[in-house]
Structures are given as structure tokens and as C-alpha cells.
Structure 1
Amino acid sequence: MEWDELQATWNRMSEELEAQKKLTNSIVMEMARTKYKNKFNKISHYEKLGTVVCFGAALGIILNFSALDTWYLKLCGILSLGFLIIMPILVLAALKQIQELDIFNQTYSEILRRYTKSKTRLLRLQQISITLSFAMLFLIVPITAKIFNDQDIFSMSFKPSQWIGFVLVFVGMLFFSRWGYKSYQRITASAALLLEDLK
């Protein structure tokens, strides 16, 4: 009788230990998922703020589109609208895809494959966005000059102070773009290290 009681106690303890192990694994996975999502929260907030700014600028162009009275100013306006509306949506969608990667119901190799694909897409979109933002600088200057000052900069010469201002904005954009892209690289590398711990 003692042997049966001992065996039953042992079996019960084994079951409790197994249940505790499953609970611990579940808690660890939940913490990993929370940490993973939090990696992208800060950058996601910046992108959402940037989207609001882009949509506001697009709305400003739409409301004042009639002021763009030449074909080349209208072309600048249309290209600017395309960039200001499409790029933020693509970047936010890529961020959401990488942020909501399911790390519970897949094998490690599948998680890694999907993460790598999402990371590559996000970083490529950032590269495209940075490149196009420099092109946008050449589109937005004529639009704002026409809307706010009723000046067609294509038919006037720049003063030295205007060239200096333009160069300063360009250099500032270079530094800001470099900082932003490095932030994306750092965050995606950090998230990859977190995923490696799930092996």
C-alpha cells in the first residue's frame, strides 16, 4: 500500500511539475512577444506622426491645387501627392507586418524566414522613402513658393541666401535620414537577437 501511495504521489508531482513547466514556457513566450512588439513601438509612433504630417501636407496641396497654374507645377503637385499619400501607408503596413509576427504558432525556422522577409521589406521601403524624400525636396519647393508667395521659381533666379537655405535643408535631411535609417537597422537587429533566444 505504501508503494502505491508513493507512486501516486510521484505521478501527481510529475504532472504538477509538467504543468508548471508549461506555464513557465507560456509566460516566457508571452514576455518575449511583448518585448518583441515593444522594440517597434517607438519607431511606430514616429511613423504615425510622420503620416499625419504627410497627410496634412497632401491636404494642403489638394486644397490649393488650383494655384498650381502651369503644367509643370501641376505635375509637381501630382507627384508630391503620390509620395505623401502612398509612402506612409506602405511603411506603416510594413511596420505592422513585422511588429505582429506570430512567434507562438510557428517553428523557429518559419519565424526566422518571415522575420527576415519582413525586415528586408521594411528596410528597403526606408531606403526608397529616403531617396524619394530628396526628390520631393525639389518638388515641394516650387509648390510651396507658388501656394504661399504666388511665385513661379522656375522663372526666377535664386538669391544667395535662398541657395544657402536650400543647401542647409539638404544637409539637414542627409543627417536626419542617416540617423533614422540607422535607428531602423539597430531596432531590427535587436529584434533578431530577441528571436534567437527562442531557439
Structure 2
Amino acid sequence: MEFEELQAAWSAMSTELKNQKKITDKIIIDMTKQKYKSKYSTAKTLESLASIVCFGMAFYVIINFGKLDAWYLQVLGVFTILFYTVFPILSLSALFRLHNLNLSQDYSRLMIDFRKRKKWFLLVQQLSIVLCFILVIAALPVAVKISKGKDLLLQSSTWLWYVPFAMIFLFFFTRWGYRCYKGMTNSAEQLLSELE
């Protein structure tokens, strides 16, 4: 009789331990999901604000496009409008794809999916960095023509100080920003690797 009671007690404890393990695993997964989502909250806020500014600038160029009377200013204006509309959309969509990763899928599929999304996000950031250097040169003549009515491409003195200063600033700013994004995605990957 004692053996049967011991066996029943052992079975009950085993079932209880399995249930506790399931609950513990669920709590760990839920905490990991919350930590993963919070990794991107600041980036989402900053990217959203930057996108609003970019859309506002694109709208400003669009409503004043008639002031761009030379063909080269119109080409620069179109590039500026496209940059200010396309890249915020690409960057936000890549960021939201990372944020909305399905964390309930099996681990190997999760990591494959995460790495694809991470690669796309960082590629969008790299491309926007390269095009930012072109935008620095393209946007200034457009802005000056719209605001002051002057054709800046015919005045070389402004270019002597503006381009070097803007390029140096942009180099350090984009480098800092890219490192932040890379660190954020690497940290999220490390967090996901704990689910294994």
C-alpha cells in the first residue's frame, strides 16, 4: 500500500512540476517578448518624428516647386522630394517589421526571420546614409531658390564652407546613428538567443 501511495504522490509531483515548468517557460517567453518590443520603442518614436519632419519638408518643396525655374533645380527638387518621402517610409516599414516579429514561432525559424529583417533594416539605413550625403548637396540649392530666389549653383562662395562643414557633421552623425541601430539590433538578437 505504501508503494502505491508513494507512486501516486510521485506522479502528482511530476505532473505539478511539468505544469510549473510550462508556467515558468510562458513567463520567460512573455518577459522576453516584452523586452524585445521595448528595444524598438525609442527608435520607433524617433523615426516617426523624423518622418513627420521629412514629409513636411517634402510638402514644402512640392508646394513651392514652381519657384524652381531651371531644369537642374527641378531635378534636384525631384530628388529631394523622393528622398524625403521614400526613405522615411522604407525605414519605418523595416523598423516595424523588426518590431512585429512573430516571437511564437519555433526558435530556428524565428532566428532566420529575425536575421532577414535585421539585414533589410540595416541595408535601408546604409542606403539612406549614402543618399544623405547626396541630399546635402541637392537640397541646399533647392532650399535657397525657394526661400531667397537665388540660384546657389551660380554662387560658389557658399559651397566652400557649407559642403565641408555639412559633410563632416553628417559623417559623425550618421556613424553615431548607425552604431546605435546596429547595437539595438544586436542586443535584440542576443535577447532572442536566450529563448533557445
Give the TM-score range, shorter chain. over 0.9
- The 8 Å contact of residues 145 and 151 in structure 2, kept in 1 or not, is answered as yes
User: How is 1:25-104 mapped onto 2 (pairs within 5 angstroms)?
Assistant: 25-104=25-104
Q: Displacement, 1:60?
A: 0.7
Q: What amino acid maps onto 2:90 in structure 1?
A: L
Alignment partner, residue 151 of structure 2? 152
Alignment partner, residue 128 of structure 1? 127
**SS of the residue 1:133 aligns to:** helix
* Alignment partner of 1:107 is 2:69: no
Question: Distance between the aligned counterparts of 1:165 and 1:76, measured in 2?
Answer: 17
* Alignment partner of 1:187 is 2:184: yes
**SS of the residue 1:93 aligns to:** helix
- Across the two proteins, how many residue pairs are aligned to each other? 196
**SS of the residue 1:30 aligns to:** helix
**Structure 2: runs of 5 or more not aligned:** none
**SS of the residue 2:157 aligns to:** coil
Provide, for residues 70-97 of structure 1, a one-character-per-residue CA deviation record: whole Å limited to 9, x for no partner.
Answer: 2211111111111110111011111111
Alignment partner, residue 168 of structure 1? 165
Q: What amino acid maps onto 2:193 in structure 1?
A: E
Q: Displacement, 1:11?
A: 3.2
TM-score normalised by structure 1 residue count = 0.91
**Structure 1: runs of 5 or more not aligned:** none
CA-based RMSD of the aligned residues comes to: 1.6
Question: Distance between the aligned counterparts of 1:185 and 1:40, measured in 2?
Answer: 12
**SS of the residue 1:123 aligns to:** helix
Distance 1:94 1:108, change over 3 A: same
Question: Distance between the aligned counterparts of 1:41 and 1:157, measured in 2?
Answer: 43
Question: Distance between the aligned counterparts of 1:165 and 1:81, measured in 2?
Answer: 21
Provide, for residues 7-28 of structure 1, a one-character-per-residue CA deviation record: whole Å limited to 9, x for no partner.
Answer: 4444333322222211110010
Identity in percent: 38
